[in-house]
Amino acid sequence: MNRWNNQIHNNILSLPSFFFSFSILIPNNFWVCNQGTSKPFTFITTGSVYIVSKVVIRLYNNKGNMPKDNSAPSTPTSARARHRRRSNEFPADESKTNGHLLLVNDHNKYRSMWIRACSSLWMLGFFLLVIYLGHLYVLAMVVIIQIFMARELFNLLRKSHEDKHLPGFRLLNWHFYFTAMLFVYGRILSHRLVNTVTSDKIFYRLVSRLIKYQMVICYFSYIAGFMWFILTLKKKMYKYQFGQFAWTHMILIVVFTQSAFTVANIFEGIFWFLLPASLIAVNDVAAYFFGFFFGKTPLIKISPKKTWEGFIGASVATTISAFVLANIYGSFQWLTCPRKDLSTGWLHCDPGPLFKPEYYPLLPWLPWTEIAILPVQWHALWLGLFASIIAPFGGFFASGFKRAFKIKDFGDSIPGHGGLTDRMDCQMVMAVFAYIYHQSFVVPQDYTVETIMSEILSSLTLEEQQILYMKLGQILQERMFGWD
Amino acid sequence: MQKENNTTVPSATTPRIRHRKRSNEVIPEPSKANGGNLLVNDRNKYKSMWIRTHSTVWMIGGFALIVYMGHLYITAMVVVIQIFMAKELFNLLRKAHEDRHLPGFRLLNWHFFFTAMFFVYGRLLSQPLVNTVTSDKFLYQFVSSLIKYHMAICYFLYIAGFMWFILTLKKKMYKYQFGQYAWTHMILIVVFTQSSFTVANIFEGIFWFLLPASLIVINDIFAYIFGFFFGKTPLIKLSPKKTWEGFIGASVTTIISAFVLANILGRFCWLTCPRKDLSTGWLACDPGPLFKPENYILPGWISQWFPWKEISVLPVQWHALCFGLFASIIAPFGGFFASGFKRAFKIKDFGDSIPGHGGITDRMDCQMVMAVFAYIYHQSFVMRQGISVEMILDQILTNLTFEEQQSLLMKLGQILQERLEHS
């Protein structure tokens, strides 16, 4: 009952904050050049204050009983977590069909399913709101998710007994975290930041200077943390401290690789972030339902509740829905246009050849004479294939990890779901793949003589253009003579 | 056995190792003056010192030969060192009992190693490789497509290893396997970060590889000498034989020798010219403003004492001062890290490849920190012209066909001519 009361409590508390934020007319980011005209200021500021108030309320009620509005739409992963939970609680039960265990504990099951569905809906709604608000807010959401994930993982293997003897060790973790954040986001956002502050001369020089020496700043920050670590090594605690140091590095690599690629995808166009995330969600839902109705043969020893029928059915469903979703998402310019700076206004662009529909004639006995297919749908097929076959290995990895270290869940931020890392495990594998696929197979197709030409004329000075001309001429001459 | 293809080793770290060994064997003894322990065990000491000096001389000789032979051979040496370092480190925390139940687990380590090697060296050497194979059309197209899909290939290799790891998870061995997986990643990161930066430095000019390495050597030698003669106050609990006198004396000496060494090394074209392709021939190039001597007139009071009226300073010597500062103050922390690590896991040495010195990782611990710094310093402060020109040139060469490149060249030529006529 506690959970119910807290949930209603939370909603009532957040309404006043909603109305309060309406009354605040915070001026939009003063450094933004082009301000959107079709989004009212109040809505943007309202949304952000609402989000902040939700987070603050959640932090004050830190028993973790309230739904946390974060992260990926995951109605189906709730069911998967339920399966995973039950598998952790009854490790001896191997390879039972899904049907048997589901009908046990009827009352508890329905209530917990209701709680999970509720928190899933909140998360989904929040996610859609953030998508509507734009690239910068999606970026902020990713950063917040990252902070909470890192916090969960840092706390995971810490032993409180040793920690009492090591004051300031937690601070070291966060020092490395912020160094990594500076490094990763500095590289990804440097161009866009420069484009944003071109209006103000002082800011522009400051930002350019920062970007030029970004590697040095990050390196010295890392070296400072390294020296701090060595100077705080205590006798008899060496092994624990080295273990924690290695653990910190592994966490930061895992968290920042996928979030860096996610952010890079977002600024290429929300489509390249939304489509992979949706495919993972669809895969989970479909896997649950196929397993529910047809599940018989177990899939892998690490996750005893997963079945081959669920896996194959979900693969087919994911691939088909990838094809369909790409068509739906590709028709919105908000999703397909890349963002060149850090503004929040509306986007207009030429979507490029990938999003222009091509018409294929259909067989004459069907009611439609032709079908419009966006070329990006063929790319989406590959994304769907990966999401259904390889991305679940991220989930297996997390399951194996939890069994290895005898943990039930990574955290308890989300009621009914466990921690944030539980939700993000498959998303992480998918985000990296989406970025690499985009860089290798999508972007090079866009390169034409015109695009490179415009890049040359816009980003190089006259002298540099002449240098380029001479060098290119030399190389092409060498090639021509070499091949004749 | 003596391996000739190992990196430079300072003859002075031999006594440091001797101290470290003795400190590991006799752990409760804190901070004795260096002089006291050295006179103990005369005969054994001279014999082991002779062995160490012998292997040191071989290593330095081998290193000098490889530097003479060129960039490609230095890269090969770095790769070989890397392989041996990785082998030492992989073997370090393995437990033989568990390993019997996990066949093929060692192979997984090497799979990740070769994926990392392909990724790192693919990125570093892609441009020089393309420049090397421009003569053959078929090979050129093959290499270009390999480079274009390089990230995708590496990613799929990694994912294959990841899936292999998950499919070989065995009950009751989960914790060991995850530990080994994390350990593999940490090793690969440590080994490949520094070696990739080293190789990047080499192709910018052997100077930027030779100078940092020499500074670490000099720092070690003089830390030993100063500690030998003046050492009294201990420096850090992790390494009881190091002293403040040795540290400070070595810092001063390293900075001075950085200034001098940069002058000496900067005169050779072989060392200062960057290498644009993978050939091994002689290099001739315009060394750039950094290596052109500037003459400073010495103030009057110096010329009274010394016969020189003016001194020629290469601008690169000022950069070398920063290198010397870093090598003397911060690079030793790499050594402290390795010492702490060995104490934490109760290991005496990382390996036993080099007689008298321990393993290769023992020799490379300070070098690793220095190599990364040298690369980052070079990228940020030693200005290279036309970075964006290089990037766009890369894009043109990898993404356009030959005909498109020619049409781009023509259009660019036209536009530049119009601009020249207007201005």
**DSSP per position, B22-53:** HHHHTTT-----HHHHHTSSHHHHHHHHHHHH
Give the position of tokens 């036993």: B352
pLDDT tens digits, one per residue of B167-193: 888 888 888 888 888 888 988 988 898
For the residues of A86-125, what is the DSSP string, one character each?
A: HHHH-TT--S--HHHHHTSSHHHHHHHHHHHHHHHHHHHH
pLDDT tier, A41 (very low <50, low <70, confident <90, very high otherwise):
very low
pLDDT tier, A51 (very low <50, low <70, confident <90, very high otherwise):
low
Collapsed DSSP state (helix, strand, coil) of residue A372: strand
Q: Where in the sequence is the domain holding B395, given as residue range(s)?
A: 387-418
Q: Which helix (H) or strand (E) holds A230?
A: helix A214-231
Looking at CA atoms only, how far is residue B137 from chain A in angstroms? Answer: 6
**Pairing label, strands B310-313, A358-361:** unpaired
Which residues of chain A does B341 touch, with a Cβ-Cβ cutoff of 8 Å?
238, 242
Same domain flag for A191 and A168: yes
| Residue A78 domain-assigned (yes or no) | no
Same domain flag for A153 and A217: yes
A466 and chain B in contact, CB less than 8 A:
yes
Which residues of chain A does B373 touch, with a Cβ-Cβ cutoff of 8 Å?
219, 223
pLDDT tens digits, one per residue of A158-211: 766 667 777 778 888 899 999 999 898 888 777 677 667 666 777 777 877 777
Same domain flag for A118 and A211: no
Q: Where in the sequence is the domain holding A237, given as residue range(s)?
A: 136-267
| Residue B229 domain-assigned (yes or no) | no
Collapsed DSSP state (helix, strand, coil) of residue A236: coil
Q: Which residues pair with A361 in a beta bridge?
A: A370
Same domain flag for A195 and A288: no
Query: Quick one: closest CA in B to A237, which residue?
Result: B344
The per-residue b/e assignment along A142-155, b for 16 or more CB within 10 angstroms, e otherwise, is bebbbebbbbbbbe
Question: Under a CB-based contact definition with an 8 Å cutoff, are residues B192 and B120 in contact?
Answer: yes
Same domain flag for A285 and A373: yes
Residues 292-311 of A with CB under 8 A from B: 300-302
The residue ranking higher by pLDDT, A366 or B113, is: B113
The mean pLDDT value for B46-56 works out to: 74
A475 and chain B in contact, CB less than 8 A:
yes
The residue ranking higher by pLDDT, A483 or B289, is: B289
Domain endpoint, select from A267, A302, A327: A267
Q: What amino acid occupies position A198?
A: T
8 Å CB contact of A403 and B379: no
pLDDT tens digits, one per residue of A255-311: 898 888 888 888 888 889 899 988 998 888 888 888 888 888 888 888 887 889 889
Rounded to two decimals, the pTM is 0.74
Same domain flag for A62 and A22: yes
First to last CA, chain A: 83
Looking at CA atoms only, how far is residue B139 from chain A in angstroms? Answer: 11
| Residue B190 domain-assigned (yes or no) | no
pLDDT tens digits, one per residue of B216-247: 988 888 888 888 888 888 888 888 878 898 89
Question: Tell me, what DSSP letter sits at residue A440?
Answer: I
Model pLDDT, residue B367: 85
Same domain flag for A191 and A331: no
8 Å CB contact of B404 and A432: no
| Residue B413 domain-assigned (yes or no) | yes
Question: Under a CB-based contact definition with an 8 Å cutoff, are residues B191 and B82 in contact?
Answer: yes
Which residues, at least 6 apart from A352, have a Cβ–Cβ distance to it below 8 Å? A336, A446
Same domain flag for A365 and A351: yes
Query: Quick one: closest CA in B to A242, which residue?
Result: B341
Model pLDDT, residue A24: 39
Question: Under a CB-based contact definition with an 8 Å cutoff, are residues A450 and B404 in contact?
Answer: no
Which residues of chain A does B376 touch, with a Cβ-Cβ cutoff of 8 Å?
215-216, 219
Domain endpoint, select from A235, A267, A299: A267
Same domain flag for A306 and A424: yes
| Residue B345 domain-assigned (yes or no) | no
8 Å CB contact of A472 and B408: yes
In whole angstroms, what is the distance from residue A292 CA to residue B242 CA? 67
Of B166, B380, B406, the CB nearest to A216: B380
User: Residue B309: exposed, middle, or buried by beta-carbon count in 10 A (0-12, 13-18, 19+)?
Assistant: exposed
Model pLDDT, residue B324: 93
| Residue B138 domain-assigned (yes or no) | no
Model pLDDT, residue B96: 65
**Identity of the highest mean pLDDT range in A5-9, A67-71, B297-301:** B297-301
Same domain flag for A262 and A295: no
| Residue A74 domain-assigned (yes or no) | no
Count the helices and strands in chain A (H runs, E runs).
Answer: 20, 2
In whole angstroms, what is the distance from residue B69 CA to residue B310 CA? 36
pLDDT tens digits, one per residue of A438-477: 888 887 666 666 667 767 776 666 777 788 888 888 888 8
Model pLDDT, residue A198: 65
Question: Under a CB-based contact definition with an 8 Å cutoff, are residues A242 and A249 in contact?
Answer: no
Same domain flag for A100 and A165: no
The per-residue b/e assignment along A302-317, b for 16 or more CB within 10 angstroms, e otherwise, is bbbbbbbbbbbbbbeb
In whole angstroms, what is the distance from residue A148 CA to residue B129 CA? 43
Model pLDDT, residue A113: 67
Model pLDDT, residue A385: 92
Model pLDDT, residue B42: 57
8 Å CB contact of B345 and A467: no
Model pLDDT, residue A225: 92
Which residues of chain A does B345 touch, with a Cβ-Cβ cutoff of 8 Å?
239, 242
Question: Under a CB-based contact definition with an 8 Å cutoff, are residues A419 and A411 in contact?
Answer: yes
pLDDT tier, A48 (very low <50, low <70, confident <90, very high otherwise):
low
In whole angstroms, what is the distance from residue B125 CA to residue A421 CA? 37
Count of domains in chain B?
1
Same domain flag for A341 and A376: yes
In whole angstroms, what is the distance from residue B376 CA to residue B390 CA? 18
Domain endpoint, select from A110, A133, A156: A133
| Residue A415 domain-assigned (yes or no) | yes
In whole angstroms, what is the distance from residue B335 CA to residue B322 CA? 20
pLDDT tens digits, one per residue of B387-405: 566 777 777 776 677 777 8
Q: What amino acid occupies position B79?
A: V
